[in-house]
Amino acid sequence: MKKVLSVLILALLVAIVAFSGCVGNDDGSGNGSNVTIGYQPSTHQMAYTSAESMGWWTSNLTKLNVSSVNNKLFESGPSEAVALSSGAIQVAYIGAAPIIPAVAQNNSDLKIVAAVQINGSSLLVANNMTYNGPQDLVGKKVGTFPPGSIQDTLLKTWLTNNGVDPKSLEIKGMSQGDAEAALMSGSLDAVFLPHPAPAVIEAGGYGRIVYNSGQMEPDHACCVIAVSQKFIDQHPDIVKEIVRIHIDATDYTNENPEKAAQYYSKMTGVSQDTVLASVNEWDGAWVSDPHMIEDYVVAYSQAQYQQGLTPRALTAEDLFDTSFYDEIMAERA
pLDDT at residue number 11:
37
Indicate whether 166 and 269 sit together in one domain.
no
Pick the closest to residue 159 from 182, 179, 180, 140 (CA basis): 140
Cα–Cα distance between 232 and 242 in angstroms, integer? 11
pLDDT confidence band for 33 (50 / 70 / 90): low
- Report the pLDDT value the prediction gives residue 200, as an integer from 0 to 100: 92
Residue 156: give its domain's CATH number: 3.40.190.10
Structural domain containing residue 180: 121-216
User: Per the structure, how many domains does the chain have?
Assistant: 2
Query: Do 260 and 139 share a structural domain?
Result: no
Are 148 and 275 contained in the same domain? no
In this structure, the answer to whether residues 109 and 227 fall within a common structural domain is yes
pTM metric for this prediction: 0.86
Shared-domain flag, residues 262 and 181: no
Instruction: Express as a percent the part of the chain with pLDDT over 90.
Output: 83
What is the rounded CA–CA span in Å between residue 48 and residue 253? 9
Report the chain's terminal Cα–Cα distance, integer Å: 62
pLDDT in tens, 259-294: 999 999 999 999 999 999 999 889 999 999 999 999
Q: Specify the range with the lowest mean pLDDT, choosing from 6-15, 159-168, 235-244, 249-258.
A: 6-15
**Sequential DSSP letters for 141-192:** EEEESPTTSHHHHHHHHHHHHTT--GGGSEEEE--HHHHHHHHHHTS-SEEE
Based on the domain organization, do 128 and 110 belong to the same domain? no
Per-residue pLDDT of 79-101, as tens digits, reads: 999 999 999 999 999 999 999 99
* Residue 74 belongs to some domain of the structure: yes
From the number of C-beta atoms within 10 Å of its C-beta (0-12, 13-18, 19+), residue 167 rates as: exposed
For residues 263 and 294, state if they share a domain. yes
Do the Cβ atoms of 40 and 74 come closer than 8 Å? yes
55 part of a folded domain? yes
Is the residue at 273 inside a domain?
yes
Same domain for 248 and 197, yes or no, is: no
Judged by average pLDDT, the poorest of 21-35, 38-52, 262-276, 295-309 is 21-35
| Residue 12, SS3 per DSSP | helix
Residue 12 maps to a domain: no
| 132 in the same domain as 113 | no
324, part of any domain: yes
Same domain, 154 and 287: no
Q: Are residues 189 and 327 in the same domain?
A: no
Contact (CB, 8 A) for 53 and 265: no
